Amino acid sequence: MSVRYLSLPIYTCHPKYLSKLMYRLVCAQFQVETLETLIRQAENYTSILFCNTYRNMALEAAASVQEFFTDVGLYLFGADVNPEEFVNRFFDSLFPLVYNHLINPGDSSLEYSECIRMARRDISPFGNIPKRVLGQMGRSLLPSRTFLQALNLGIEVINTTDHLHFSKECSRALLRMQYCPHCQGLTLSKPCMGYCLNVVRGCLAHMAELNPHWHMYILSLEELSDAMHGTYDIEHVLLNFHLLVNDAVVQAHLDGQKLLEQIKILTTQLCLSLLEDLLTEDGVGHTGGSLGVDNW
């Protein structure tokens, strides 16, 4: 009977602790679901841009748009992906579509489109927009990624407290605090605040050294949360991404004539180099026309 009474205070306190834990878990899950919804919404905005404004490119652009926002999500949730790589990969894949549909409409081979893709970083058809996108993504995604990682770490720490073992002395102190008045028939009487604090301090004395570190952790979370707002707010950056994509396409279209001349020079060099590599691999002599180099 005494053993049952000793364990009773811990079981009584446990549901209260669990309710606080569940609250924290729900908050963390809400953060994750909010970001997932935000990514889907930004992807939809970008897809709608192509469907409504650049219909002839929409089907071909769909895979690149989906890949870009998949990489955004992977990065946010801790995967080993590089924002610079997936931003550049998106604009690399976009340029052949803009070139073949807006600047120099017509059919071109897959090999020639690959040459155009490779030329994008040399001629900068989209101006400084890819750099702007990369800057915005870097400043908005990193704080959110770090915040999610820190939040998950905090949840793990909270979960470990569920397995703390109280000493017999602590259990007896909790028993006296909660149930001694029952012996007098005072079931509604509660212990005073000072007594409660003394008992809790005694039970958690071995955990006290964690307090300053936990306090710093909470302050760091608050700083991260502040960094997620303002000019580089992740919601603002993602939901306005499609506007920058549109600006990029418009700029390339306006500079079309100049780009045509640059493309002819660069892609001739790139395509011939690519052709030589392919022919070397196949052990075939130099012929020339299969890459569509003359299809300008």
* 222 — pLDDT class (breaks 50, 70, 90): confident
Question: How much is the pLDDT for 207?
Answer: 67
**Cα separation of 109 and 165, whole Å?**
70
* 56 — pLDDT class (breaks 50, 70, 90): very high
* 292 — pLDDT class (breaks 50, 70, 90): very low
Q: Give pTM, 2 decimals.
A: 0.71
Question: How much is the pLDDT for 158?
Answer: 72
* 214 — pLDDT class (breaks 50, 70, 90): confident
More confident residue, 37 or 220: 37
Q: Of all residues in the chain, what percent carry a pLDDT higher than 90? A: 38
- Locate the domains of the chain by residue range: 2-172+231-291
204 pLDDT higher than 60? yes
Question: How much is the pLDDT for 184?
Answer: 52
Mean pLDDT of the chain: 79
Are residues 109 and 291 in contact, defined by beta-carbon separation less than 8 angstroms? Answer: yes
219 pLDDT higher than 60? yes
264 pLDDT higher than 60? yes
Question: How much is the pLDDT for 34?
Answer: 85
| The dihedral formed by the CA atoms of 223, 225, 230 and 233, expressed in degrees to the nearest 10 | 140
Residue pLDDT, tens place only, 132-149? 999 999 889 988 898 888
